[in-house]
Structure 1
Amino acid sequence: MTDYKKILFERNGVISTITFNRPESHNAMDREMSDELQDAVRRVKRDRECRVLIFRGAGDTFCAGDDIKEFLTWTDDDPYWQARQYQETAQTIEDLTPITIAAVDGVCTGGGLELTLTCDFVIATDRSRWGMPEIDWDITPGWGGVTRLARFAGRRKTKEWNLIGQLFDAATAERYDLINRVVQPEDLNAQVDALVEVMLAKNPVTVRRSKFALNKGADLPLSGAMAFEIPIQPFASKPGRFATDGMEDFSDPAARAERRKVSKTFWQD
């Protein structure tokens, strides 16, 4: 456990966990927490053994975004520099090699919602509350709430959420592609663990290459995006041979069944 004050950072084998740890403030992010988050994310980026990074919130909430009360102590230049730091941290998370999972319970608003947009998977409880309420505090979101969010939910809904500032429930968030899976609060940890198990069963080289192509190609025209699939070696082959272990297992019914037993019916209920 690394000695941070506002977050908890834990590494367990190939799994790292960052927990926002200001439950008395709905895990709102002040500058100290922001600095610690950036440092922890950079630590994961340098960790070649890490395969999964999980984001959680302490208590019964995920993250309420920025600590608005702290803004009253800022100088004129602080909003610019803080927004630049937020954007750098968000982009670093999105570009991480490990699979990233946001485990969301309770409040997930402002910067908390924006952070989930950078993750590969989001699992949330049915009691989680979502929204971009910054407009009522005379703030324009700086983590991607008016840009990255539109690429998930579309311009129309993103304008509604940002210009009205209302909260919405997990079912709405799922409908607009902000959540992969909605679960009961007591099932959140088990669902995260199950997803981690599935992802660790995959070939890490294939995961890394596929994630890179997905992230970098998502915002390009199809002809440009397809180029990401060509220069990199498309298969996780071992040196000196084309065939992968997975290809060889495909020819063996028992081995093929073993490889697919977890993935084949995962999240089909």
Structure 2
Amino acid sequence: MHYETLLIEKQEHIGVIKFNRPAVMNALNTKMAQELLHVLGDFEQDEDIFAAVLTATGEKAFCAGADLKERQHMSKEAMARQRALFVKTFTAVIDFCKPLVAAVNGFALGGGTEFALGCDFIIAAENASFGLPEVGLAIIPGGGGTQLLPRIIGRAKAKELIFTGRRITAQQALEMGLVNYVVPAEKLMEKTMQIMQEITRNSPIALRQAKLAINLGSDIELHSALSLEAECYNVCLKTEDRDEGLRAFNEKRRPVYKGR
């Protein structure tokens, strides 16, 4: 399927989604939100995709936030409809059931930072920068920023960044624990795909269950979280992939997982 605002690639078991509005710094408009929502749904249903990458075309920006020019002539009602769509799209990123890694190049501001935060972890180019400047426009981060950022870097640091609207560099983000790796811009996708290949060598069922256990277990008390972990583990026990993993271990070969 052809998309106006996204480029879609598939490499072995890895799906790649690229924001593709470089002329406007990959700003989020209505069409991009609709298309991203559609692609995420397709990727969840595609059994051949074990994990996915969210990145962007161009060198200047991952995503510079919402396309404010599109909103310039919108009525209040139209803005409310767009807002509901945006919330649905950001939530789809956060709730994506397979591993989803952000590869961030250039500016990731406002919604761009929030898209990255919604992924499982972030790999940043040296030229990347992050920021949630919404309070300067008399609003607050509304794509999960006020909830995700404190969970990743701590409440006090998150408040400082959100209250000031300050931008931080990739290196500062690394020191805060916001990103996992910082690499030269020309090596961003090479590093990302190396890690994705490590991920997708594993059972897609186990990957989904591990993500579910971590995401849901992190916000509940320990004994409930351990019970959740046990349930997720038991899902894996009943699969053909588990049988294949045991066979491969005993036969001293790499397993071939099919997600069944």
Matches within 5 A, 1:159-178: 159-178=159-178
Work out whether residues 87 and 143 of structure 1, in 8 Å CA contact, stay in contact via their aligned partners in 2: yes
Report the residue type matching 1:149 in the other structure: L
Give unpaired runs (5+ residues) of structure 1. Answer: 260-269
Higher RCO (CA 8 Å, separation ≥ 6 residues): 2
Secondary structure of 2:220 counterpart: coil
Tell me by how many angstroms 1:235 deviates.
Answer: 7.2
CA separation of 1:176 and 1:82: change in aligned 2, threshold 3 A: farther
1:53 — aligned with what?
A: 52
For 1:238 and 1:39, locate their aligned partners in 2 and report how far apart those are by CA, in whole Å.
31
Given that 1:41 and 1:89 are in contact with CA atoms closer than 8 Å, whether structure 2 keeps it comes out as no
Aligned AA for 1:207? L
Residue 27 of structure 2 corresponds to: 28
Matching residue's letter, 1:46: Q
User: How far 1:204 sits from its partner (Å)?
Assistant: 2.0
- Indicate the RMSD between aligned Cα atoms, in angstroms: 2.4
Aligned residues: 254
Amino acid in the other structure paired with 1:7:
L
Distance 2:248 2:37 in 1: 41
Identity of aligned residues (%): 31
Structure 1 pair 83/219, CA: closer, same or farther in 2 (3 Å)? farther
Displacement of 1:90 in angstroms is 2.3
Which residue of 1 is the match for residue 258 of structure 2? none
In the TM superposition, what whole-angstrom CA distance separates every residue of 1:91-127 from its partner, at most 9, and x where no partner exists? Answer: 2222223221111110011101101112123111111
Which secondary structure state, in structure 2, belongs to the residue aligned with residue 103 of structure 1? strand
Q: CA deviation at 1:237?
A: 3.9
**In structure 1, what is the equivalent of residue 16 of structure 2?**
17
Any idea what SS the aligned residue of 2:62 has? coil
Q: Match of 1:6?
A: 5
Secondary structure (helix, strand or coil) at the match of 1:117 reads helix
TM, length-normalised to structure 2: 0.88
CA 1:197 to 1:30, structure 2 compared with 1: closer, same or farther past 3 Å? same
Q: Aligned residue for 1:94? A: 94
Greater helix fraction, Structure 1 or Structure 2: 2
One-letter identity of the residue aligned with 2:7: L
Q: Is the 8 A contact 1:132 1:162 kept in 2?
A: yes
Q: What's the CA shift string for 1:55-74, capped at 9, x where partnerless?
A: 11110121111112222222
The whole-number CA distance in structure 1 between the counterparts of 2:123 and 2:31 is 27
- 1:245 Cα offset (Å): 4.7
Q: Deviations over 1:3-44 (max 9, x none)?
A: 111111233443221111111111111112111111211221
After superposition, the Cα gap between the structure-2 partners of 1:138 and 1:198, relative to the gap in structure 1 and judged at 3 Å, is same
Report the counterpart of residue 137 of structure 1 in structure 2: 137
